[in-house]
Amino acid sequence: MSKEKFTMVGKVERRVDGYDLVTGKVKFTGDLKFSGMLYGYARRANVAAGRIKKIDCSGALAIPGVVTILFANDIPGPNIIGILPPFDQPLLASEEIRYEGESIALIVAKTKAVAKSAAAKIIIEIEPWDPILNVDEALKEGARKIHPQGNIIFSKKLIKGDVEKGFEEAEVVVENTYNTGFQEHAYLEPEAVCAVPMGNGRITVYASCQSPFHLRTHISANLNVPASQVKVIHAHTGGSFGGKDDVAAEIGSLASIAAVKLGKPVMIAHDREESIIGSNLRHASRIHYKTGAKKDGTIVAREIDILLDGGAYASESPFVVMKALIHAAGPYNIPHVFVKSTAVYTNKTYCGAMRGFGVPQVTFASESQIDELAAALKMDSLELRYKNGLRPGDATATGQVFNQSVGLIETINRIKEKRKHPHLKGKLNDSRWLYGTGFSCMLQGISNGAEGIDVVGASVQMSQDGSVLIGVGLTEMGQGSHTVFAQIAAEVLGITIDKITVKQLDTDSVHDSGATVASRSTTVGGMAVFKAAQEVKKSLVKMASLMFKVNEEQIIFKENFAILKNDDSARIPLKEVATAAYWTGFPLMNLAFSKAPEANYDHETHQGNIYIAYNFGTHMMDIRVDRFTGRVEVLRHIASHDVGKVINPLGVEGQVEGGSLMGFGLAHMEKIIYQEGHIINANLADYAVPTVKDRIPTETILVEDYNPTGPFGAKGVGEPPVAGTAAVFANAVADATRIRFRSLPITREDILKRITAIKK
């Protein structure tokens, strides 16, 4: 497969959904209108911790237009959301309040404005408790238990080799603690669902979400009906980045309960404040790193302790704990590694999945320390990375050995090339600007791997006119996967991309394929499309061989024609083959499954085979810092990633640019500010997410190291650039300012304070 010439794979394609999106034609959930539709709005807790004593909603119910108010005891099912044990989160809180913003009641009214004003009229008496606001308080001996099982959500260890022995061998040791803050997903479209009772015992839920199957599970459980009666349609979704999972299950369940109770469609569409305070954030972290090396730069040991602030509920903290654990040692060949990773409950908005899943936090810390080690060794930091970087045949931190598709060194080489042509040439520090260059290396596991089973279903259906409809059990949330799937099917079937439609996922039409996470759409999802398309192709080949009266081997498909291999002029339009195949009874639809090889590892030490592949990356960033304002100007950012075979270069660039900007936001701009458990900047005026004006000049370099576990050799790329950019920014700032910032974000304000401090 690796040496074939491709026609559709590797071709620059505009997003198949691009035109309708940029021209504003696409309908998002909030645009939907159904006859008799009602609107739901949650009344939330206004303290971070306490116990509900009394609720009086008589005033709220008296407001004209209010239809009903739902409380915990109106939920037919178990009142639980959360896809993982310990299943600790109520849909509606009825006793204890664990974070400010927790939903207590759902007001359903004829308009959202009415629901909102009714929400304010509900009188809720809460006995307030002292909130636990950081991990130290939470872990303190005798601390109040936020949940009955205590304040530790999940904790895991990774043990490779003998880290004590490793440090004994070390000649240079560096050790430090790094911090990162909370980050909001800040998608363009806040969360929204619309539940429509179908009148035939079923309910259809349109949802802006990441994982319609999770919604189905939660909705059916909380409605107490069989899952087969619930259909979740993945509405066009304006971004998710891991954020629209638990919260979508929450509002999907609430809207469904209200819709079934009232027999009417119910919409819940969050505004920005609800989106920030009422759903998960990226975990803040405190990470201690100790790295030991020989004088020649050979890293021999790393010992890492990761503490993640998980907020009030577990959500996907266990996955984030594991992912941070597995990636903490970085893309290096290190014989002795010990990592401990722990998530802790606090009385803050719960944390969960977000693009990168713990990897950006540890990569920032790890790569900062690599720079610090290089300084201690007086080595060039990029050379230090090159020296220790994983090569084919090396063992990762979990002891997994890849003999193929380990392109790290090539990504470093490509950066070295760029470094030879310094962008900052002639731009020396002057009275105003401080110039600097940073480097970072990273890896990010592709596929669910250790986090669970990884099966994706996909269907490919060709109509008699030769057009093709693709359905995949994963969601398109803006990442461009529909275009990738179309290119894969087009390549297999020898058709042009205009013949292909990729439909929105709904839970009726394909096997439960789990969540669209872990940069697995192109690999595991793409492989399912590949398999399904191959089956359809078999029917077409059979039919064409009957029509041409030749052996099947003599037939190829290209440019929407069946063509004889040895006579390019012998052509039958594929639509004629499709029509004939249909009338001959050869199936033109297939539902295929792709299953990633299962993770296989020791649960005590996390040693074993974790992922089907890794994306490897090396970043370089040239910046200048304004001595007078702390402003950072990114002059050049080069992101070199080994993504396996590229399906759509434009799509990969988009992912690298978008992920990089999100990493830049994490590293430099975005800061959730808590005051006593209350987020004071729950809006996009005060929470500074990068806008188009903050766009950094990312240049993407793609290394295509063939991955045998992906379709046509592809790997994923959705998450990796976040980590690479967050890390490289910190190192560039350190290089420019000669100050090591060990906490993200490194805001303009932070920089200015430290520069000014030095000046004094």
d(Cα 77, Cα 87) in Å, to the nearest integer?
A: 14
Task: Answer yes or no whether residue 148 interacts with a second copy by CB under 8 A.
Answer: no
Residues near a second copy (CB under 8 A), total:
63
Q: Cβ closer to a second copy: 389 or 494?
A: 494
3-state secondary structure 359-405: HHHHHHHHHHHHHHHHHHHCCCHHHHHHHHECCCCCECCCCCECCCC
Contacts of 581 (CB under 8 A, 6+ apart): 539, 540, 542, 543, 588
Q: Which is nearer to a second copy, 128 or 597 (CB)?
A: 597
Q: Where are the beta strands (DSSP E) in 130-191?
A: 152-160, 172-180
Q: Give me the least distance between CB of 190 and a second copy, in Å please.
A: 19
Return the C-alpha torsion angle 44, 49, 51, 55, nearest 10: -20
CB of 591 to a second copy, least distance (A): 4
623-651 CB burial, b ≥16 within 10 A, e <16 = bbbbbeebebebbbbbbbbbbbbbbbebb
Please check whether residue 457 is in contact with residue 593, taking contact to mean a CB–CB distance below 8 angstroms. yes
649 binds a second copy, rule: CB under 8 A: no
Q: Residue 277, SS3?
A: helix
Options 135, 409, 591, 625; binder of a second copy; rule CB under 8 A: 591
Cβ neighbours, 10 Å, residue 303? 22
Under the binding rule (CB under 8 A), the answer on residue 151 touching a second copy is: no
Taking the CA atoms of residue 253, residue 255, residue 259 and residue 265 in that order, the dihedral angle to the nearest 10 degrees is: -140
Residue at 703: amino acid letter: V
Q: Taking contact as CB under 8 A, which single stretch among the options 176-184, 227-235, 238-246, 351-359 is the one that binds a second copy?
A: 227-235
CA–CA distance, 260 with 198 (Å, rounded to integer) = 9
Q: What are the tokens at 618?
A: 């090396």
Is residue 22 within the footprint of a second copy (CB under 8 A)? no
Contact residue for a second copy among 80, 227, 564, 689 (CB under 8 A): 227
576 lies in the site for a second copy, by CB under 8 A: no
Which two tokens mark 710?
A: 């992906």
* Sole window of 18-26, 418-426, 544-552, 654-662 interacting with a second copy (rule: CB under 8 A): 18-26
Q: Which residue's CB is nearer to a second copy, number 28 or number 129?
A: 28
Given a contact cutoff of 8 angstroms between Cβ atoms, the answer to whether 491 and 8 are in contact is yes
Per-residue binder mask for a second copy (CB under 8 A), 347-386, x = binder: ----------------------------------------
Judged by CB under 8 A, does residue 85 bind a second copy?
A: no
Q: Cβ contacts of residue 110 below 8 Å, gap of 6+? A: 38, 39, 65, 67
Tell which one of 198, 401, 673, 758 touches a second copy (CB under 8 A): 198
User: Is position 496 an interface residue for a second copy (rule: CB under 8 A)?
Assistant: no
Residue 708 in the binding site for a second copy (CB under 8 A): no
* Near a second copy by CB under 8 A: residue from 155, 464, 496, 743: 464
Strands of 192-197's sheet in order across: 66-70, 103-109, 38-44, 266-269, 192-197, 203-208, 230-234
Residue span 157-196 as binding mask against a second copy, x where in contact by CB under 8 A, dash where not: ----------------------------------------
Query: At closest approach, how far in Å is the CB of 513 from a second copy?
Result: 10
Q: What angle do CA 54, 59, 60 make, to 5 degrees?
A: 90
Query: Does residue 216 interact with a second copy by CB under 8 A?
Result: yes
Q: How far apart are CA 63 and CA 122, in angstroms?
A: 11
Determine, following the binding rule CB under 8 A, whether residue 598 of this chain makes contact with a second copy: yes
Per CB under 8 A, the list member of 234, 236, 348, 537 interacting with a second copy is 236
Interface pick for a second copy out of 6, 26, 143, 305 (rule CB under 8 A): 26
> Two tokens at 250?
């929450």
The window from 148-156, 228-236, 605-613, 621-629 that contacts a second copy (CB under 8 A) reads 228-236
Q: Which is nearer to a second copy, 505 or 744 (CB)?
A: 505
Contacts of 181 (CB under 8 A, 6+ apart): 284, 670, 671, 672, 743, 744, 745
CB of 593 to a second copy, least distance (A): 5
Residue nearer to a second copy on the CB measure, 129 or 593 = 593
H or E element at residue 267? strand 266-269
User: Residue 200 Cβ, how far from a second copy at the closest point, in Å?
Assistant: 5
Q: Which of 502, 443, 480 is nearest to 658 (CA)?
A: 480
From 225-233, 387-395, 427-435, 634-642, give the range in contact with a second copy by CB under 8 A. Answer: 225-233
What's the closest the beta carbon of residue 36 comes to a second copy, in angstroms? 8
- Measure the CA–CA gap between 184 and 195, rounded to whole angstroms: 26
By CB under 8 A, is residue 76 in contact with a second copy?
Answer: no
**424-453 binders of a second copy (CB under 8 A):** 452-453
What are the residues whose beta carbons fall under 8 Å from the beta carbon of 151, sequence distance 6 or more?
132, 138, 139, 143, 145, 344, 345
Residue among 5 and 25 whose Cβ is closer to a second copy: 25
Q: Tell whether residue 208 is a contact of a second copy (CB under 8 A).
A: no
Q: Which stretch binds a second copy (CB under 8 A): 38-46, 112-120, 468-476, 633-641?
A: 468-476
CB of 499 to a second copy, least distance (A): 6
Does position 461 interact with a second copy (CB under 8 A)? The reply is: yes
Residue 496 CB, nearest approach to a second copy (Å): 11
> Among the candidate windows 41-49, 88-96, 154-162, 509-517, which touches a second copy by CB under 8 A?
509-517
Q: Which of residues 512-551 bind a second copy (CB under 8 A)?
A: 512
Amino acid sitting at position 403: N
Given 64, 85, 148, 200, the residue binding a second copy (CB under 8 A): 200
Are 527 and 457 in contact by the 8 Å Cβ rule? The answer is no
Helices (H), 150-267: 163-169, 212-223, 246-262
* 495 contacts 574 by C-beta, under 8 angstroms: yes
CB 466 within 8 A of CB 574: yes
Q: Between residues 192 and 667, which has the closer beta carbon with respect to a second copy?
A: 192
Residue 134 engages a second copy in binding (rule: CB under 8 A): no
How many residues in the chain?
760
Q: Nearer to a second copy by C-beta: 53 or 595? A: 595
Q: How far is the CB of 470 from a second copy (least distance, A)?
A: 8
Instruction: State the residues that interact with a second copy by CB under 8 A.
Output: 17, 19-20, 25-27, 31, 33-36, 198-202, 216-217, 220-221, 226-229, 231, 236, 452-455, 457, 459, 461, 463-465, 467-469, 471, 498-501, 503-504, 508-512, 582-585, 587-591, 593, 595, 598
